[in-house]
Structure 1
């Protein structure tokens, strides 16, 4: 079968196809659009990618991904320093912050406990969360984990670990469906879930 494009373009298509939501067909369409808009989109995109690739870091405080360390969220002096919202992944942090409802601090666990996948507490940022709470400034910890079996298991585990501290432990409530993932929820649903959070029983 004859090739309609060169190997360099084919390599770009294959790389784009690895992105979430882009299969081979979508990757081909995206590549074609980039090629057609080389000066206005493709070249600036390439520069932006290289710039971020050189600067991207994991925040030493909350494990967010940013080009600054500490990240922009942790450096923001306008945020409430007495509340931490614990999330599973960076995408969840971005989703919640996009709702502009929560103005406290965040903590990214890097996943959830899963016996099936062999993920235990040492594989997550549980220890650094405990250290942040031990500092004494935190008054409330919001467990904003996905409403999955592993998410609920992790929430109960964290609630038990936090029992020794004088902090209020709450969780997202109404608006988050069982099995739902935060990154796929709309801003209004996320805002309602944050406002309706309740205490977590261990």
Structure 2
């Protein structure tokens, strides 16, 4: 027995979400059919408002509903230390770990297989921020995997002619894992044990 077109359309839409297969999409669709109207309406409004309200911060490129974001507007943060991460979700992870400096989000990582080049990232803006002065240390906190290592190398090379110390977070995080899945203690240890990148070529 085939499902009504409206349900099939919802199932197909839900399958586009990461980690959602056909069976999970069907369970979610039937849950929404049984859910109270207020719950479904709130979910629809939240999804619709997401694209309308959320934008990238013009300073650090994290996701925000105000520009500049609250992190960049906070004068109590250490403006001399800049933590470079791949994605906005990494900002949330380091906030939980207690980082009190500034951020720069690259919005991705270098991946030749997927055609993602350094120019596709916010690397040029990072260079502009550092060249403007006031930053003593750039801490590269890309993921400890092949793409993250390649991206870190591009960051180091882009900043090598500027008067700034470039360090990389320590390998307190398991190689091949993602920052977003690391707990606060692991991230805190990785920041404390960061290493200088001057010897990297």
Q: TM-score, normalised by structure 2?
A: 0.88
Residue 51 (structure 1) shift: 1.8
CA distance in 2, matches of 1:79, 1:8: 49
Does structure 1 residue 141 correspond to structure 2 residue 138?
A: yes
Residue 102 (structure 1) shift: 0.8
Does structure 1 residue 37 correspond to structure 2 residue 28?
A: no
Aligned residues: 199
Equivalent residues in 2 for 1:35-74 (5 A)?
A: 35-74=33-72
CA distance in 2, matches of 1:32, 1:191: 42
Equivalent of 1:116, from 96, 113, 118? Answer: 113
Q: Which runs of 5+ in 1 are unaligned?
A: none
Does structure 1 residue 162 correspond to structure 2 residue 170?
A: no
Aligned to 1:151, the other structure's residue is in SS state helix
Does structure 1 residue 179 correspond to structure 2 residue 176?
A: yes
Residue pair 1:52, 1:67 contacting (<8 A) in 2 also: no
Equivalent of 2:129, from 127, 132, 135? Answer: 132
CA distance in 2, matches of 1:76, 1:42: 36
Q: Which runs of 5+ in 2 are unaligned?
A: none
Residue 199 (structure 1) shift: 1.3
Residue 85 (structure 1) shift: 0.8
Provide Cα deviations, 1:35-77, integer angstroms capped at 9, x if missing partner: 3223353221111122222122122111112222222322233
Residue pair 1:173, 1:194 contacting (<8 A) in 2 also: yes
Aligned to 1:70, the other structure's residue is in SS state coil
CA distance in 2, matches of 1:72, 1:11: 38
Q: Which residue does 1:23 correspond to in 2?
A: 21
Q: Which deviates the most, 56-65 or 28-37?
A: 28-37
CA distance in 2, matches of 1:63, 1:103: 17
Q: TM-score, normalised by structure 1?
A: 0.88
Q: Which deviates the most, 136-145 or 106-115?
A: 106-115
